[in-house]
């Protein structure tokens, strides 16, 4: 049956699109190797409309793909042939602010940066931050349990979600936790939906908990001669300073940012690696003391510190613009994590593997190393066809994931599983865990209406 005609019983036809341009735009995320070909795009405005859509999909045997800001990096929002996209783009209203509880209540389609800006207007702070916050939505962040650059101090999205309204795969509406801090009444279902990648329910409304504003921040960029030095630096700084970020990137990553005009070289020294550290202004003297110490032992060869917000922004641009600067080269992205104590040994193993298995590819290192998260991007040679390149990387990935598995790490630290990592889930989750996940899926989405084929 024609999806456009069928869903007219759940939504005004002005908010149902099936032209090619809309299907192409809304049918995909930032991945490039999956084919998107949805039958239609639905643009609900209320939770009741979402519930009506899901009920209609069950009755008509349609499959639905929830779609947020479409900045995902795992193919989670890619809609295959005859699937129907449910976009949250029109659910972008802030419903209210509750001062005593420091809660912002909003619809799931609110852009993450708008949550941050609204928090600031109330003298508060929404700490989850990453390069795509200008496009991603709070609902998409919840579905992927997004992390980013300040996890080391503030944790992931999960930590800031105090209440959720979700429409399950049967079309039932669940209102969960209501913004409470304490609620010891059995299973906290809210946490099942956080990180579920749209496979259990569609998030429609959210209570976001806000933090107190931190004091002004300083950003320090250090030239680092070798991978092993990174963890010595992290250990030294985090022993006496409550860091708000500890990131790293390679010269190759930085040179791409500079070549695309998205950043300026911060110091004359060219180094294989750089660390970017952020901390409270009041810790500057202590940071300078540790910096000198690191230079003395040879772990750092040069450094530059921000003296203004503009300088801090310019230094952050070197890290935050990496992903977009690499995008034209269609990188094969690995987003992996291990415990912090395992990072030094893991870096050595990955470095060895990458040099042996990708001798003809450029490999770009960067990541949120302070929380054990490494982004390893393999760049596609210009002359190689994308399917050949992806097949080659897919062939090598199991070796990398075995190193992750050996250390009980994660094959997807923060980007989700989606389509990209689906076939590798067993490297991070046991057979019993996957069986339990399938059983949970059967409770909330017994007909498999929501985001089929994603995750498992």
Ligand X SMILES: Cc1cc2nc3c(=O)[nH]c(=O)nc-3n(C[C@H](O)[C@H](O)[C@H](O)COP(=O)(O)OP(=O)(O)OC[C@H]3O[C@@H](n4cnc5c(N)ncnc54)[C@H](O)[C@@H]3O)c2cc1C
- The site for ligand X (CB under 6 A) is made up of 29-30, 65-73, 76-77, 88, 108, 130-132, 136-137, 139-141, 143-144, 146-148, 197-198, 202-203, 323-324, 414-415, 418, 451, 454
Nearest CB to ligand X, comparing residues 327 and 340: 327
Q: What is the nearest approach in angstroms of ligand X to the Cβ of residue 423?
A: 16
Nearest CB to ligand X, comparing residues 102 and 375: 375
Nearest CB to ligand X, comparing residues 145 and 306: 145
380 and 430 in contact (C-beta within 8 Å)? no
Q: How far apart are the C-alpha atoms of 359 and 77, rounded to whole Å? A: 33
Q: What is the nearest approach in angstroms of ligand X to the Cβ of residue 359?
A: 28
Q: Residue 370: which of 182, 234, 261, 172 has the closest Cα?
A: 234
Question: In the sheet that 64-67 helps form, which strands lie side by side, from edge to edge?
Answer: 16-17, 40-42, 84-87, 64-67
Q: What is the nearest approach in angstroms of ligand X to the Cβ of residue 280?
A: 22
Tell me which residue has its CB nearest to ligand X: 140
Q: How far apart are the C-alpha atoms of 339 and 238, rounded to whole Å? A: 15
Q: What is the nearest approach in angstroms of ligand X to the Cβ of residue 366?
A: 10
Nearest CB to ligand X, comparing residues 72 and 127: 72
Element at 162 (helix H, strand E): strand 161-168
Residue 391, helix vs strand vs coil: helix
Nearest CB to ligand X, comparing residues 64 and 222: 64
Q: What is the nearest approach in angstroms of ligand X to the Cβ of residue 41?
A: 12
Q: How far apart are the C-alpha atoms of 376 and 368, rounded to whole Å? A: 11
Q: Is 394 exposed, middle or buried (0-12, 13-18, 19+ CB in 10 A)?
A: middle
Nearest CB to ligand X, comparing residues 65 and 223: 65
Question: How many CA atoms are closer than 13 Å to the CA of 291, on its beta-carbon side?
Answer: 19
Q: What is the nearest approach in angstroms of ligand X to the Cβ of residue 276?
A: 13
Residue 72 sits at the vertex; the CA angle it makes with 320 and 122, to the nearest 5 degrees, is 65
Q: What is the nearest approach in angstroms of ligand X to the Cβ of residue 92?
A: 11
3-state secondary structure 293-331: HHHHCCCCCEEEECCCHHHHHHHHHHHHCHHHHHHHHCC
Nearest CB to ligand X, comparing residues 192 and 353: 192
């Amino acid at each position: 049956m024609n999806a456009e005609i069928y869903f007219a019983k759940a939504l005004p036809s002005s908010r149902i699109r099936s032209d090619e341009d809309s299907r192409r735009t809304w049918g995909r995320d930032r991945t490039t190797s999956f084919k998107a070909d949805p039958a239609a795009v639905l643009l609900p405005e209320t939770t009741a409309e979402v519930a009506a859509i899901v009920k209609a999909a069950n009755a008509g045997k349609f499959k639905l793909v929830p779609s947020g800001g479409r900045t995902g990096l795992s193919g989670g929002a890619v809609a295959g042939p005859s699937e129907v996209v449910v976009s949250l783009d029109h659910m972008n209203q802030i419903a209210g602010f509750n001062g005593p509880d420091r809660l912002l209540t909003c619809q799931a389609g609110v852009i993450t940066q708008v949550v941050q800006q609204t928090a600031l207007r109330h003298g508060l702070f929404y700490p989850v931050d990453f390069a795509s916050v200008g496009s991603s939505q709070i609902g998409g962040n919840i579905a992927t349990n997004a992390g980013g650059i300040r996890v080391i101090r503030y944790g992931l999205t999960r930590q800031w979600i105090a209440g959720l309204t979700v429409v399950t795969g049967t079309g039932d509406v669940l209102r969960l936790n209501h913004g409470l801090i304490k609620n010891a009444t059995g299973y906290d279902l809210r946490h099942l939906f956080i990180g579920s990648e749209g496979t259990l329910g569609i998030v429609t409304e959210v209570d976001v908990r806000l933090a107190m504003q931190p004091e002004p921040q300083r950003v320090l960029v250090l030239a680092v001669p070798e991978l092993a030095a990174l963890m010595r630096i992290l250990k030294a700084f985090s022993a006496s300073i409550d860091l708000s970020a500890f990131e790293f990137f390679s010269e190759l990553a930085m040179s791409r940012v500079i070549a695309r005009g998205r950043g300026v070289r911060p110091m004359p020294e060219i180094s294989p690696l750089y660390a970017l550290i952020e901390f409270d202004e009041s810790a500057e003297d202590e940071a300078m003391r540790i910096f000198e110490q690191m230079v003395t032992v040879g772990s750092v060869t040069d450094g530059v510190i921000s003296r203004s917000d503009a300088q801090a922004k310019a230094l952050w641009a070197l890290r935050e613009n990496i992903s977009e600067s690499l995008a034209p080269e269609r990188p094969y992205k690995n987003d992996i994590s291990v415990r912090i104590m395992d990072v030094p040994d893991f870096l050595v193993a990955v470095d060895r593997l990458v040099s042996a298995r990708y001798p003809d590819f450029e490999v770009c290192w960067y990541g949120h190393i302070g929380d054990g998260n490494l982004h390893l991007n393999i760049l596609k040679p210009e002359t190689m066809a994308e399917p050949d390149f992806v097949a080659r990387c897919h062939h090598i990935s199991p070796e990398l994931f075995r190193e992750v598995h050996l250390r009980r790490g994660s094959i997807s630290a923060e980007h989700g599983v989606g389509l990209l990592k689906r076939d590798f889930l067993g490297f991070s989750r046991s057979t019993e865990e996957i069986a339990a996940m399938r059983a949970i899926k059967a409770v909330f989405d017994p007909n498999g209406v929501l985001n089929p084929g994603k995750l498992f």
